[in-house]
Amino acid sequence: MLDIIKEPWPWYVAGPLIGLTVPILLILGNKSFGISSSLRHICAACIPGNINFFKYDWRRESWNLFFVLGIFFGGMISAHFLMNPGEIIVNPKLKAELAGYGITDYSNLVPTQLMNFKSLLTLKGFLTMVVGGFLVGFGTRYAGGCTSGHAIMGLSNLQWPSLVATICFMIGGFFVANVVLPIILSL
């Protein structure tokens, strides 16, 4: 059984499980799925300031914080107990392309040559971690939600803004992965 859990799940199993989250949340209490809103709930609970954006009953949405905590601890448990000890399998063509940028270590899910505290002090690391993180946060706020909220919950509810946001997320992702990231990695 543990071997089945350690392997990547096929789309026809993982997809319906993710998709069933939407009706379950709607049936259990008309709740909306999304991850980025949890940061707002944390700020509303912790920041005593007089900021209108954080003036609401965050306790009504506290279930979302437990959901995110479950995702966090589930990730920690799976990284510790269910991680494949072998090298991460990467397509040989991608491996050759990444080797041109100096990325050759596949011992972790995230390339350690890019994502570590030492590389944070380089231009490449600063652009990928700090500027990229800021742009993701800004885009999430500007779009009124994150990719999971729009692409899973919003599309399931046939919301036009979620369709537009998801299309923009995809176009932006393709552009950054194929145009911007190679430029940054070559720095």
Please state the pTM of the whole predicted model.
0.74
CB 154 within 8 A of CB 161: yes
Question: Using DSSP, how many helices (H) and how many strands (E) does the chain show?
Answer: 13, 0
How far is residue 62 CA from its own chain's centroid? Answer: 20
Full pLDDT tens readout for the chain, 187 residues: 777 777 778 889 888 988 888 888 888 888 877 788 888 888 888 887 788 878 888 888 888 888 889 989 998 998 888 877 777 888 999 999 989 888 888 887 788 888 888 888 889 889 988 999 899 888 888 888 888 888 888 888 889 999 999 999 999 999 999 999 999 988 8
Residue where the block lists tokens 């939600």:
145
Tokens 């885009």, residue? 139
**pLDDT for position 167:** 94
Residues 119, 115: Cα–Cα separation, whole Å:
7
